[in-house]
């Protein structure tokens, strides 16, 4: 099945939670000088915080790989979205050969989709009424989303991995995913 709409819960990560304790999401860049970023609910990713200005983000990540009025792309597979006042409102991490995004020790991009959902659901429930459920799983208490472009079905070629794992994880600021 193809995705019904292009709502901004797509290829990347959305996360933001009420204080939920010691939950962290780490993104590790696999290079000679591996960088690891922890995502803290309702706070941000590593040194990048929800509410930071574009200049503050650049102080931590350097010049972006690309940008427009609303977004910057950094570190190959990270998108940072800004609100109308120029402050970070959303951080999205795509599936990448360069990074691992982990929540409590498990890489959400590497897990089969049902296992990734179960892993996050052990922390907080997802919105069962989401109109894109299956493509997207939104966890409102965490302001976290998981996204994949298709839901595999019996007609999909057995060798086609598309949709068997989530391609994007997103972290949003308070209210990004209204319940």
Which is more confidently placed, 30 or 58? 58
Report residue 140's pLDDT band, with 50, 70 and 90 as the boundaries: very high
Which residue did the predictor score with more confidence, 20 or 91? 91
CB 107 within 8 A of CB 119: no
pLDDT top residue among 93 and 127: 127
pLDDT at 43 over 90: no
Residue 19: what pLDDT? 35
User: How many angstroms separate the CA atoms of 58 and 179, rounded?
Assistant: 31
How confident is the model at residue 36, as a pLDDT?
61
Residues β-bridged to residue 49? 44
Query: Looking at beta carbons, which pairs linking 114-117 to residues 24 or more positions away fall under 8 Å?
Result: 116/146, 116/165, 116/166, 117/146
pLDDT at 9 exceeding the cut of 80: no
* CA 38 to chain CA mean position, Å: 12
Flag whether pLDDT at 72 surpasses 60: yes
Residue 58: pLDDT above 80?
A: yes
Q: How confident is the model at residue 109 (pLDDT cuts 50, 70, 90)?
A: confident
This prediction has a pTM of 0.77
Rounded-to-integer distance, Cα 108 and Cα 103, Å: 7
| pLDDT interval class at 16 (50, 70, 90) | very low
Pairing of strands 106-107, 99-103: antiparallel
Q: Is the pLDDT reported for residue 28 higher than 90?
A: no
With cut-offs at 50, 70 and 90, classify the pLDDT of residue 103: confident
- The mean pLDDT of 62-69, rounded to a whole number, is 92
pLDDT at position 39 is 66
pLDDT the model gives residue 21: 42
How many Å apart are CA 38 and CA 47, to the nearest integer?
9
Could you tell me the end-to-end alpha-carbon distance of the chain, in angstroms, rounded to an integer?
A: 25
- Nearest Cα to 71, choosing from 175, 177, 170? 170
């Amino acid at each position: 099945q193809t995705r019904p709409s292009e709502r901004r819960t797509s290829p990347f990560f959305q996360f933001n939670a009420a204080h939920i304790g010691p939950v962290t999401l780490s993104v590790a860049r696999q290079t000679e000088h591996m960088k690891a970023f922890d995502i803290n609910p309702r706070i941000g990713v590593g040194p990048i915080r929800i509410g930071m200005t574009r200049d503050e983000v650049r102080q931590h990540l350097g010049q972006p790989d690309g940008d427009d009025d609303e977004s910057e792309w950094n570190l190959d597979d990270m998108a940072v979205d800004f609100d109308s006042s120029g402050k970070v409102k959303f951080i999205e991490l795509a599936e990448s050969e360069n990074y691992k995004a982990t929540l409590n020790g498990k890489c959400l991009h590497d897990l089969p989709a049902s296992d990734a959902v179960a892993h996050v659901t052990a922390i907080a429930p997802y919105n069962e009424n989401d109109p894109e459920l299956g493509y997207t799983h939104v966890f409102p208490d965490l302001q976290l989303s998981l996204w994949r472009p298709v839901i595999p079905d019996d007609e999909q070629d057995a060798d086609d991995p598309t949709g068997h794992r989530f391609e994007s994880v997103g972290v949003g600021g308070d209210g990004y995913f209204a319940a």
